[in-house]
Amino acid sequence: MRISDLIAQYIIDMLEEDGSNDSSATIKRNELAETLGCVPSQINYVITSRFTPEQGYIVESRRGGGGYIKITRISMDKHTAIAHIMSNIGESIDARTAAELIREMLTRRMIDLPTAKLLTAAVTERPYQSVSPEIRDKLRAAIFKNMLLTL
C-alpha cells in the first residue's frame, strides 16, 4: 500500500470513529506525519487531493504553534450528492478522475458494487480508443452524467 493510501485510510478511520455521517477529525500535520513515518508535505498532498468538497469534505486549517487541520465529512442524501457530482463533472472528465468519483460513491455507499463496476466499465479508456483524443473526455463526461441520471 502506498503512503498516500495509508494517510487517507488513517484519516478516514479517524472520521469513522464516532460512526455519524457528519463526523470530523482534527489532526496536527507534524504529529500525523511522525506517527505514519512520512513528511508533512505528504499529508498536505493527501488532504488536498482526496478530501475535497467534490468528494464530500470540508477542510479548515489553522497555522501556527497550536495549528491544526480539521476535516469534516459533509452528509448529503444520495440524490443531492449525485447532483453535486454531476455539476462538478463539467464538460469533460478524464478516466482517472471518473474512476475516483466512482470509488468515492462506492465508499460512501451511494452505489453498490455491481453499479460501480458498470460505471467503471463505461468510463475507462478502452471504450474510447477509437474516438479522437480531442473529444474523448467530453464524450466520457456526457455518458457518465447520463448514467448518473438513472441512479
Report, at the CATH architecture level, how domain 3-73 is classified.
2-Layer Sandwich (3.30)
pLDDT score, position 66: 64
Residue 20 reports pLDDT greater than 80: no
Instruction: State how beta strands 24-27 and 57-62 pair.
Output: unpaired
Q: Is 59 helix (H, G, I), strand (E, B) or coil?
A: strand
What secondary structure does DSSP assign to 117-130, as a single string?
HHHHHHHSSGGGTT
Per-residue pLDDT band for 61 (boundaries 50, 70, 90) equals: confident
What is the arithmetic mean of pLDDT over 99-113? 88
**HSE value, Cβ hemisphere, 13 Å, CA-based, for 15:** 23
Domain boundaries, the chain: 3-73, 78-149
| Residues 6 and 48: beta-carbon distance below 8 Å | no
What is the arithmetic mean of pLDDT over 87-99? 90
In single-letter form, the type of residue at position 77 comes to D
Residue 120 reports pLDDT greater than 70: yes
Per-residue pLDDT band for 88 (boundaries 50, 70, 90) equals: confident
Residue 75 reports pLDDT greater than 80: no
Per-residue pLDDT band for 148 (boundaries 50, 70, 90) equals: very high
C-alpha cell at 9: 485510510
pLDDT score, position 71: 92
Q: For residues 87 and 141, what is the distance between their CA atoms, to the nearest angstrom?
A: 11
| Residues 50 and 8: beta-carbon distance below 8 Å | yes
